[in-house]
């Protein structure tokens, strides 16, 4: 702000200086006429030295016969002719003089006399004016902080999002059909004395379609949709959030029936009293204001607040009380059928080859959210376009799965011979151990092309979606995680930094086995460590210890024991099947990437 004021000031200063310079040069160049008295004029007239007199008001501009210029002045009340008569100028002396009368004086004369005073004055006025405007601008900006930045969407015609556009989420849609009814036909319910719900909380992982569903409700009911993100309420200035909430509800009430959608409500709705950082009070005020508005809304006014969060566990209980967000809709990550349905929705407006089996793609994408799947098809379209194809084929979609999962391939990140060999042994280790252990998901792909952060990767996928996991699965998973490390150690005698992220994942898994799942004999079935939500820069920085120093030691021991036993399992497999390992390595170095079929062909025909 002050920068622009300074800039304007400088501009004015420059303009002022330029004008000043122009005027001063004007005065220097223009020949200054001498000023004379009236008697002198009379004298010169009598001598016949004057050829012209121009009368401008009470100013006389005199041109002598020899071209010299003079000025003089008279009383403004007296005309020149009477004056001259009074001075006794003979009439015949005037015959050769050209007398011109310009009424009211010449404007340029006035300009030149007044402007030098006027210009600085105008400049000052202008300057003050602009300063005021700037300040006012700042003021209005500050005021608009308090206005909500909610975007209002009135969906029309074809672009309208309805439940048809949301694949899967069957239960959620059923729940929300009721809300649509409320919005469309509130009287049906109020007649029976039913209270219309005011708040719906949508809970689910990012990308599971919370925003999409809220929009679909608005689309189905054909009402406007106000959308704002919780983080937009929280600004640097205290009190802004609350006034934004007030403004948002005011706007919404005017266009009722309608839907207010608050994304990321956990940004304001975290449990009060938890959290560090300055915006703490601000959040509380904003949250309170939301509650006040929701409580204060008359039942007649048909505004429904839908809020989305992926952290329902951290929400302030006050938000969940009856009359507030008492409807809760849970959105899970889609299962295989839903994934297929979502793929179908997004494949609709894309030219996809007829051979493409969306079911197989759904099989390959456990853990993908709706947004991931939409992104997957988009990536496949981009890839196909880059290859100058007219339609999207299954191969491109499969290739994009890994890109969405692991980040783009980095073919340019070329490994040198030695690195390539180490990476091949590392990945072959993972793949071999995964293949040998009965409870581990099947190997889908092994590659030594670096992707994202990893130098290579081994992709395993379950045959079906699973929700429960057993201890033996976890234990074997630990062995697979450590197999890369073990292979490097067995073959080269030392390990590289390439295994560090495997080790971190393994340690975390072991810790969860012990402290979360109660799967360790030494510790027994209890959870350890109270997770307390202290949020600082978006990270949980605190884990409350709810166990003794002694237990801590035992946890450490249990984790170490799990890891070393997993390491031993991996080691035994790698030593026993060393031939097999080398076979995989050679193939990997040759082809860089092995698909499931190529990988399985390397094994003698048996099991799994």
**Catalytic center residues:** 427
Which option in ligand ADP, Zn ion, none does residue 440 bind, with CB closer than 5 to 8 A by kind?
none
Quick check: helix, strand or coil at residue 201? Answer: strand
Binding window for ligand ADP (CB under 6 A); candidates: 139-147, 367-375, 509-517, 536-544: 367-375
169 belongs to the binding site for ligand ADP (CB under 6 A)? yes
Query: Beta partners for 69?
Result: 63
211 counts as binding ligand ADP under rule CB under 6 A: yes
For 306, the token pair is 């839908």
Q: How far apart are CA 365 and CA 396, in angstroms?
A: 14
Binder among 50, 216, 245, 374 for ligand ADP (CB under 6 A): 374
The nearest distance, CB 587 to Zn ion, in angstroms, is: 18
Contact 453, 541 (CB under 8 A): no
When asked if residue 206 is in the footprint of ligand ADP (CB under 6 A), the reply is yes
Under rule CB under 6 A, how many of the chain's residues touch ligand ADP? 18
Is 488 near Zn ion (CB under 5 A)?
Answer: no
Q: How far is 148 from 169, CA to CA, in rounded Å?
A: 31
Beta bridge partners of 61: 54, 71
Question: Is 207 a residue that touches ligand ADP (CB under 6 A)?
Answer: yes
Closest to ligand ADP by CB, 41 or 343: 343
By CB under 6 A, which span of 54-62, 203-211, 432-440, 494-502 interacts with ligand ADP? Answer: 203-211
Q: Mind giving me the DSSP string for 423-456?
A: HHHHHHHHHHHHHHSTTSPEEEEEE-S-BTTBSS
The secondary structure of residue 353, as a DSSP letter, is -
Task: By CB under 6 A, name the one of 74, 210, 430, 445 that touches ligand ADP.
Answer: 210
| Neighbouring C-beta atoms of residue 128, cutoff 10 Å | 10
Nearest to residue 172, comparing CAs of 180, 160, 161? 180
Segment contacting Zn ion by CB under 5 A, of 295-303, 347-355, 479-487, 542-550: 479-487
- With respect to ligand ADP, which residue has the nearer C-beta, 84 or 341? 341
Residue 339 lies near ligand ADP (rule: CB under 6 A):
no
Comparing CA positions, the residue from 364, 379, 507, 516 lying closest to residue 444 is 364
Cα angle 582, 585, 586; round to 5: 90
**Between residue 291 and residue 320, which ones bind ligand ADP under the rule CB under 6 A?**
308
One residue of 425, 478, 484, 581 binding Zn ion per CB under 5 A = 484
Q: Is 429 in the site for Zn ion (CB under 5 A)?
A: no
168 in contact with ligand ADP (CB under 6 A): yes
Q: How many alpha carbons fall within 13 Å on the CB side of residue 174? A: 4
Shortest approach of ligand ADP to residue 451 CB, angstroms?
23
Our finding on whether 371 is near ligand ADP (CB under 6 A) is yes
Partner interacting with residue 456 (select from ligand ADP, Zn ion, none; CB below 5-8 Å by kind) = none
Among 502, 514, 580, 594, binds Zn ion (CB under 5 A): 502
On whether the CB atoms of residues 231 and 262 are closer than 8 A, the answer is: no
| Residue 208 interface partner, choices Zn ion, ligand ADP, none, CB cut-off 5-8 Å depending on type | ligand ADP
**CB neighbours of 106 closer than 8 A, spacing ≥ 6?**
56
* 345, 461, 503, 602: residue in contact with ligand ADP (rule CB under 6 A): 345
State which of residues 44, 72, 155, 208 lies at the interface with ligand ADP (CB under 6 A).
208
Contacts of 18 (CB under 8 A, 6+ apart): none
Q: Which of residues 42, 212, 380, 573 is near ligand ADP by CB under 6 A?
A: 212
Q: Name the residue with the smallest CB distance to Zn ion.
A: 484
Q: How many whole angstroms separate alpha carbon 557 and alpha carbon 524?
A: 14
Give me the residue whose beta carbon is nearest to ligand ADP: 370
Residues 542-581 that bind ligand ADP (CB under 6 A): none
What distance in Å separates the CA atoms of residue 437 and residue 577, rounded to the nearest whole number? 13
How far, in Å, CA of 562 to CA of 244, rounded? 53
Interaction site with Zn ion (CB under 5 A): 484, 502
Interaction site with ligand ADP (CB under 6 A): 166-169, 204, 206-212, 308, 342, 345, 370-371, 374
């Amino acid at each position: 702000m002050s920068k622009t004021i300074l800039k304007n000031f400088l501009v004015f200063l420059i303009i002022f200086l330029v004008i000043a310079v122009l005027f001063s040069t004007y005065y220097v160049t223009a020949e200054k006429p001498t000023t004379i008295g009236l008697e002198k004029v009379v004298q010169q007239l009598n001598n016949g030295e004057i050829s012209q007199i121009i009368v401008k008001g009470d100013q006389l501009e005199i041109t002598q016969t020899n071209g010299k210029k003079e000025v003089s002045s008279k009383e403004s009340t007296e005309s020149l002719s009477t004056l001259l008569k009074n001075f006794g100028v003979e009439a015949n002396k005037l015959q050769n003089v050209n007398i011109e009368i310009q009424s009211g004086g010449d404007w340029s004369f006035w300009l030149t006399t007044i402007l030098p005073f006027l210009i600085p004055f105008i400049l000052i006025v202008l300057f003050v004016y602009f300063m005021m405007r700037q300040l006012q601008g700042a003021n209005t900006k500050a005021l608009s902080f308090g206005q909500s930045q909610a975007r209002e969407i009135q969906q029309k015609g074809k672009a309208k999002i309805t439940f048809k556009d949301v694949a899967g989420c069957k239960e959620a849609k059923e729940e929300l059909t009721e809300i649509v009814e409320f919005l469309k036909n509130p009287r049906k319910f109020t007649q029976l004395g039913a209270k219309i719900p005011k708040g719906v909380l949508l809970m689910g992982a990012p990308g599971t379609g919370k925003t999409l569903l809220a929009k679909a409700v608005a689309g189905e009911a054909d009402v406007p949709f106000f959308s704002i993100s919780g983080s937009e309420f929280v600004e640097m200035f205290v009190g802004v959030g609350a006034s934004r909430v007030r403004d948002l509800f005011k706007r919404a009430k005017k266009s009722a029936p309608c839907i207010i959608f608050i994304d990321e409500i956990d940004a304001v709705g975290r449990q009060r009293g938890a959290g560090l950082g300055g915006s703490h009070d601000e959040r509380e005020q904003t949250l309170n204001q939301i509650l006040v508005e929701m409580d204060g809304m008359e039942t007649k006014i048909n505004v429904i607040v839908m809020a989305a969060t992926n952290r329902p566990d951290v929400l302030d209980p006050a938000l969940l009380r009856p009359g507030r967000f008492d409807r809760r809709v849970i959105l899970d990550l889609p299962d295989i059928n839903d994934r297929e349905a979502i793929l179908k929705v997004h494949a609709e407006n894309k030219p996809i080859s007829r051979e493409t089996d969306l079911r197989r793609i759904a099989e390959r994408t456990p853990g993908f959210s709706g947004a991931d799947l939409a992104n997957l098809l988009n990536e496949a379209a981009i890839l196909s376009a880059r290859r100058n194809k007219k339609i999207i084929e299954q191969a491109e979609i499969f290739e994009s799965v890994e890109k969405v999962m692991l980040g783009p391939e980095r073919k340019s990140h070329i490994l040198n011979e030695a690195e390539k060999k180490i990476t091949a042994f590392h990945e072959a280790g993972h793949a071999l151990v995964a293949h040998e252990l009965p409870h581990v998901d099947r190997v889908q792909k092994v590659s030594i092309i670096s992707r994202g952060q990893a130098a290579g990767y081994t992709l395993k996928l379950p045959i079906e979606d699973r929700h429960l996991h057993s201890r033996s699965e976890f234990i074997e998973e630990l062995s697979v995680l450590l197999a890369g490390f073990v292979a490097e150690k067995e073959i080269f005698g030392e390990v590289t930094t390439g295994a560090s992220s495997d080790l971190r994942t393994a340690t975390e898994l072991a810790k969860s086995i012990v402290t979360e799942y109660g799967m360790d004999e030494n510790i027994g079935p209890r959870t350890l460590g109270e997770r307390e939500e202290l949020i600082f820069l978006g990270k949980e920085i605190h884990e409350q210890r709810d166990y003794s120093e002694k237990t801590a030691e035992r946890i450490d021991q249990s984790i170490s024991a799990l890891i070393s036993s997993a390491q031993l399992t991996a080691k035994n497999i790698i030593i026993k099947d060393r031939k097999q390992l080398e076979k995989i390595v050679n193939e990997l170095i040759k082809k860089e990437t092995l698909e499931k079929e190529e990988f399985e062909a390397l094994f003698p025909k048996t099991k799994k």
